[in-house]
Chain A
Amino acid sequence: AQSVTQLDSQVPVFEEAPVELRCNYSSSVSVYLFWYVQYPNQGLQLLLKYLSGSTLVKGINGFEAEFNKSQTSFHLRKPSVHISDTAEYFCAVSDPGGNEKLTFGTGTRLTIIP
């Protein structure tokens, strides 16, 4: 079964600084990868996803992620963060051969410092 690791439980970043949230998954075989965001007191919403094609994936709100098969990583980046980016970010993975289930990481809480 696939698993996903988000090593950083909390990341504080100054406003307008760049940020990278790290995500590593367990298997080097084909995977589908997702990043979801949860704003305070809300449900999750999709930021971006990688199914195939270009390894650089662009999402909403200026976020992007790069699929790196050799390092089994799918790190999320934004060049300049805003106060409104304060949220919890979840990386998730599924197996294309049995993708009725999505496995989530434990989440990274991004705090933007004014």
Chain B
Amino acid sequence: EAQVTQNPRYLITVTGKKLTVTCSQNMNHEYMSWYRQDPGLGLRQIYYSMNVEVTDKGDVPEGYKVSRKEKRNFPLILESPSPNQTSLYFCASSFDLAGRDTQYFGPGTRLTVL
């Protein structure tokens, strides 16, 4: 089954404790992206990647890191999480650029930073 998987689905952590949210897709997509969803703000792009070893900042990259060492994986790293990073996070992938092609979204990761 074609899908985007994210782990963990739910995470409660404390300020400053490094964490990684994994994202994997099995559709051989070139393009991958991370978004955060906050009430009243919709989805905002954090980082995107157009291919292996090619990443770039989205609209809200502060406090996040990403890497794209393999085509299928695109982990999101919070090196020192803070309470304002409490949010619902989505990974997405597509064959072509997000602004032209259909994006396939993962189920989401709900993160709470205390």
Contacts and interface: CB of A to CB of B under 8 A. Distances in A.
- Range class of the A interface residue count: 20 to 34
Contacts of A105: 42
A102 B35 CA distance: 11
Contact of B97 (A6, A9, A41, A99): A99
Contacts of B45: 101-102
Nearest to B44: A104
- Residue from the set B40, B99, B102 with the largest chain A CB neighbour count within 10 Å: B99
A94 B99 contact: yes
Interface string B64-101: 00000000000000000000000000101000011110
Given A42-B107, A43-B4, A43-B108, A101 B41 contact: no
B107 A99 contact: no
A43 B98 contact: no
Given A42-B107, A90-B42, A102-B45, A49 B102 contact: yes
Given A90-B43, A105-B42, A32 B103 contact: no
A100 B50 contact: yes
A101 B40 contact: no
